Structure 1
Amino acid sequence: MADFSGSLAADATLSNEEKAEDLSQDSKNDAPKSDVQADSDNEAVPDPSIYRYIKDDLFTSEIYKIEIRNIPKFVGFNDLKKFLAKHGISPHKIKLFGKQTFAFVTFKNEEERDKAMKMVHGMQWKGQVLSVRLAKPKADPILKKRKQEEGEGAGGQPASKRTEGDDEEEPLHVQIANVVTPLWNVPYEEQLRRKEQEVVGVLQRLAKEIGSTNKAMLPWLFAQKGKFNKMCCPLEAIQPSPTQTEYRNKCEFLISVGANGEDKTIGFRLGKYKGGSCAVVGPAETSHVSAEAKKVVSEFQKFIRTTPYSVYSPETYEGHWKQLTVRTTRTKQAMAIVFFNPQKLEEEDLNALKSAMRQYFTDGEGKESCVTSLYFVREGQRTSPNLEDLPCELVAGENCIHEELLGLKFRISPHSFFQVNTGAAEVLYSAVGEWAQLDQDSTVLDVCCGTGTIGLSLAKRVKKVIGIELCQEAVEDAKVNAKLNGLSNVEFHCGKAEDVFPNILNALVSPNVTAIVDPPRAGLHSKVILAIRRAVHLKRLVYVACNAKAAMTNFIDLCRAPSNRVHGAPFRPVRAMAVDLFPQTMHVEMLLLLERVDYDSQQQTGPAETDPM
């Protein structure tokens, strides 16, 4: 379940924590050597001009950072995480440099950091004596880049070197198209071919992984690979999006200085923050943004330019206007959510601003944008990178918008998940319904259900639908949506899937259970996978993957041989298909049907394996 709006906004409103995350992701080992050396050199005094994002009133775990050295070779991220957890240490983030056998670990507070330093330093692990020391935080990339350019200028070298062809630089609308819709100039049939080949590669890799983790499946797997081009299952023809342009019903826009020099511009970031750029380009000529959303952006830009408030600067943490999220529907409703940092403004000033905004979009020039739901969000000293954690204040209009999908009506609140391409979502959900092979005795578990779209679209065919969703707002929408459509055989639970799902499975007595999972890009938590494996009455699983490569670990663990940790018969993939929800980009949804292996009719060779999951 993903809308890839983050890639569109291109790091739209990075907090301190997100800046560090943007540079130091938990599972990636791609930091350049110079960065590693800079972080390791804790003897040097940090230059405050490139660490400006570290302020007492703005949280970032980078200020509670340590470096662990002498980590044993061949240790992975999960190994280190388990090792620390075993000793009661709870890190906020971990970045492991396997080849150099050291890691940077950050914590949420000084107490946790100091506890880790005392416990880990001198500890033995697989024959290695670990050492720990304080580590410097990451330098702010924009300020670091600026400082380097200033240094080059001072040394007699040009701050930026021109190359042949600079005078013929592409127009801004082409540059931004290359960033947010990199396939905009590729014929659509070729786009589909590339995406289908991407899924072919995933299924071929999965075949290899299943062969390595479940020897009992080798005879079946050998036959499958011979029939299906080395893939573990047949791949059906990719399903195109009904519309290839103006299909997005949700976009997140950054409010910043325009790449053309114009202040207070709303658009997509031309580069990434870690690349040293904050400039944005408006969406007027982008192919995937709807005409309705472009109109809202245009009117909002006019409005903010009439105000005395500047755009927020991620370099100095000064300024106010930060981000605009626009959601539109086929029923011609539009929701605008503006994110504003109040800094030290008085409540009276904020009320005057909201009043002016209300007047502009209800009675003034902005009325032409047809905004039916207008929200104002104070994004000040947030301690979480999730925008969903911020309360939205309704300034004008209705508190939600409504969409129609597969003959059903759906209410959508500001933070609720809804697929960004409604027409293609109908194609996707229709395929899910067909593949699930449901009847009136079936119970459907809709995991990561959002506003309930998948489960509600299947409710009339089955005995019961049980939805699980983390976002409370989306759960409330799902319950309302069930009533809107006269569906009484559904229930929705709010919470993390790894916490809620096992309990629901244990309480189910239905012999005919099908799970449909549509998780975020990172995939399902391992606890959910273990619960699925243990639920012997769960025979069929439809997995909707918005990033099949990221979900590979889930696929492997569903299919691996039983072990001391993984109980229950494995699944095996029997059918796959790609659905294009994101034309003009390389993103694609993959649908994978997995069915439980029937060990009663299949001879299993060898004892249960002890492969840790």
Structure 2
Amino acid sequence: MAEMAVDSTMPTDSASAPPEDAGTDSEVPEAKTQVAQRDKESKTDEDGSSSVYRYIKEDLFTSEIFKVEIQNLPKYTGFNDLKKFLNKQGLNPHKIKLIGKQTFAFVTFKNQEERDKALKRVHGMQWKGKLLSVRLAKPKADPILRKRRREEGAAAAGAEPDPKKPSGHAQGEAEEEPLSTRIANAVTPLWQVPYGEQLRRKQQEAEAVLQTLSREIGNSNRAMLPWLFVQKEKNRNMCCPLEAIRPSPLQTEYRNKCEFVIGTGADGEDKTVGFRLGKYKGGSCAVVSPADTVHIPAEAKRVVQAFQKYIRTTPFPAYSPETYDGHWRQLTVRTSRTSQIMAMVFFHPQKLPEEELESLKNSLRQYFTEGVGKDSGVTSLHFVRTGQRTSAGTEDLPCELVAGDQWIHEELLGLKFRISPHSFFQTNTGAAEVLYSTVGEWAGLDDQSTLLDICCGTGTIGISLAKRVKKVIGIELCQEAVDDAKANAEANGLVNVEYHCGRAEEIFPTVLNALVSPNVTAIVDPPRAGLHSKVILAIRRAEHLKKLVYVACNAKAAMNNFIDLCRAPSNRVRGSPFRPVRATAVDLFPQTMHCETVLLFERVDYSASSAQTPDNSRKTDDNGDPRVP
């Protein structure tokens, strides 16, 4: 499951980086003193300009002022592991950012009380044999202002160029390239690479993932070493065969969902709709039109052009992530094979009166239904209000239908699917058909099978396979997507499908425990971070679940999931392990380095003569690794 997300528009929305300095004392009074001193020192830069920490003193919420650094974490700690640990201490973190090999993390809280509680409770605690250290962390500096200050300071001092950065000549050459080339390099870095070579590189990436997984399985489950040795000998140090990558039927104009930011153009044009040349955290706000990008369909480009014309006729400026002023933030466009187009307009109301907002929505409606914008073909127009500290693409923002239909519809594998504004649907429909056909082939289903579709979105995978099985059970967090999935099952005449809305880690164990079918197969298509550890533990405990197809849009991020599926049984990880038996990559994102990786896992049958029986007498720690006396 993957989306091309718009760059975060606020300094605090971007991923945390190591602070420039941090307090060394975990005592709360000292922490308060450090914050007060930093605030005093950060009011202005040396030249009197606005501080790089200006945003923390605006009348706005930011968790950056309530941030701590937790050091000496157990190796390979996952996001969900750390969140669960903190929750057990009565803490409710706002954001967690793991650094390096997950041995330390930055954690922010919503208020000073929660932050101080973390300093008191976690510092000095032992977790999985590691003594934790907690200290106050400095807020992240505003990337734009920090970059500007450094450049001005370096120029004034006649400093030598940073050898880690492009030379002035090279940078100048890059900036002299046409904007169309620069934006293509930013959003589709492989656009000048022949497609065959793109596939070869992605195949190599998949091979590297499986070689890494081989090493990790060997470290976490020694009972599998004899099997693993054979697999590595046959498969070039990989833990299972890697089949040839499946190409995308379309290499250009394939994206059915595109998110465009609104800001000052790199050419100086105000209220430009398109893509950023770089990320905000890299110090860039310049926006370039998508007109010459190869992965965006012509239909979406027409909507962008029409919308840009409209907002330039209004008195409302684009929202500025640097000053927090302005209104227009983002345009999301969804297209389909059925020639339906959805447009979602993200607008910050600031302090505009309600009647002015109503007038604006009426103007939008008239423009796209009767005015110049009618030719863009928009059939579903939504208005989304955003806030200061809200990322423009956040899925919990309510959408208000302004004109047209509530949904758009798509056709995939001969089936029809309804899509709501916030529902997940693979962004490359043709390649999604290749992906789902592969999943269906590998799952080995029959009319007695029960299929668990975890992170099911609008139900595409489960619905495409429903006629082969006895029952499909889907689990999805987004209520809009669940509503769509139910409507899609009904529209396709299916009666053997049911859906549950909520967090997979909360619902999945209950669903599994209620199943009596001896023939259960799971298909998981999680977000980039992978499945919650609770889901993996529930899968391991469900011995009647013999087969699992894992669709990973970021296999490296899902590595902890793969390892936990395969690691040796322990007090924490109960049930026989799985092992990977088949893998392939499916290219859903031509012109970029991203692709989907599909792995088939099968439960190890220790009763079979071919399997290595584990040494159950060996004492293990909570991770399944042998204890050292």
TM-score, normalised via structure 1 length: 0.91
Query: What's 1:525 paired with?
Result: 532
Of 377, 395, 400 in structure 1, the residue corresponding to residue 407 of structure 2 is: 400
Q: 2:111 aligns with which of 95, 109, 112?
A: 109
Q: Larger deviation: 118-127 or 132-141? A: 118-127
- Relative distance call for 1:212 and 1:423 in structure 2 (3 A) is same
Query: Residues of 1 paired with 2:443 and 2:521: CA distance?
Result: 7
**Inter-partner Cα distance in structure 1 for 2:520 and 2:327:** 50
User: Contact 2:76/2:102 (CA < 8 Å) preserved in 1?
Assistant: no
Aligned residue identity for 1:300: F
Moved more, 451-460 or 592-601: 592-601
| 1:470 maps onto 2:477 in alignment | yes
Does 2:594 correspond to 1:610? Answer: no
Q: Find 2:514's aligned residue among 504, 507, 526.
A: 507
Alignment of 1:76-225 (within 5 A): 77=77, 84-85=86-87, 87-95=89-97, 104-120=106-122, 134-155=136-157, 162-163=168-169, 166=172, 169-225=176-232
* SS of aligned partner of 1:239: coil
User: Of the candidates 36, 41, 46, which is equivalent to residue 20 of structure 2?
Assistant: 36
Q: What letter corresponds to residue 9 of structure 2 in structure 1?
A: L
- The answer (yes or no) to whether the contact 2:457–2:478 under 8 Å persists in 1 is yes
Q: Is the 8 A contact 1:513 1:540 kept in 2?
A: yes
> C-alpha distance in 1, partners of 2:99/2:468?
51
Residue correspondence of structure 1 range 229-240 to structure 2 within 5 A: 229-240=236-247
Measured after TM superposition, the shift of residue 127 of structure 1 is 11
Q: Kindly indicate whether the alpha-carbon contact (under 8 Å) linking 2:16 and 2:106 is maintained by their aligned counterparts in 1.
A: no
The 5 A counterparts of 1:266-305 are 266-305=273-312
**Residues 55/508 of structure 1: CA separation in 2 closer, same or farther (3 Å cut):** farther
Q: 1:149 to 1:72 in 2, by over 3 A?
A: closer
**Higher alpha-carbon deviation: 106-115 or 447-456:** 106-115
Q: Displacement of 1:225 after TM fit?
A: 1.3
SS state at 1:200 partner: helix
| Aligned counterpart, 1:23 | 16
Please name the residue that 2:31 is paired with.
Answer: none
Alignment of 1:302-451 (within 5 A): 302-381=309-388, 387-451=394-458
CA distance in 2, matches of 1:540, 1:525: 19
Structure 1: give runs of 5+ residues left out of the alignment.
Answer: 25-30
* Alpha-carbon distance, 1:38 to partner: 6.4
The answer to whether the 8 A contact 1:75-1:98 is kept is: no
Amino acid at match of 2:335: T
How many positions carry a matched residue from both structures?
595
Q: Secondary structure at the match of 1:493?
A: strand
CA deviations on 1:241-267 (whole Å, 9 max, x unpaired) are 001000000010000111111111000
Distance in 1 (alpha carbons) for counterparts of 2:89 and 2:334? 46
* 1:487 alignment partner AA: L
Task: Supply the distance in 2 between the matched residues of 1:123 and 1:406 (Cα, whole angstroms).
Answer: 53
Contact 2:226 2:612 in 1 (8 A): no
Cα distance 1:384–1:107, how it changes in 2: closer, same or farther (>3 A)?
farther
Give secondary structure in 2 for the equivalent of 1:516. strand
Contact 1:245 1:289 in 2 (8 A): yes
Shift of 1:211: 1.5
- Secondary structure (helix, strand or coil) at the match of 2:607 reads helix
**Structure 2: how far apart are the matches of 1:416 and 1:591?**
22
Distance (Å, rounded) in 2 between the aligned partners of 1:430 and 1:508: 26
- Other-structure match for 1:64: 66
Amino acid at match of 2:511: I
Give 1:58 shift. Answer: 2.9
Report the equivalent of 2:627: none
5+ long unaligned stretches in structure 2? 25-33, 44-50, 624-629
Residues 119 and 548 (structure 1 numbering): CA distance in 2 closer, same or farther, change over 3 Å? Answer: closer
CA deviation digits over 1:152-202, x for unaligned, max 9? 455577999942672672111111111111110000011111111111111
**2:257 aligned residue (250, 258, 276):** 250
**Aligned position for 1:28:** none
> Greater CA deviation, 80-89 or 396-405?
80-89
Q: Which amino acid aligns with 1:51?
A: Y
Give me the whole-angstrom Cα distance separating, in 2, the residues matched to 1:593 and 1:125. 33
Stretch deviating more after TM superposition (50-59 or 116-125): 116-125
Letter in structure 2 aligned against 1:606: D
Residue 236 of structure 1 contacts residue 577 of structure 1 at CA under 8 Å; is this kept in 2?
yes
How far is 1:128 from its partner? 9.9
Give the 3 Å change call, closer, same or farther, for CA 278–240 of structure 1 in structure 2: same
CA root-mean-square deviation: 2.7
**What CA distance in whole angstroms lies between the structure 2 residues aligned with 1:349 and 1:65?**
38
- Distance, in Å, in 2 between the alignment partners of 1:437 and 1:464 is 14
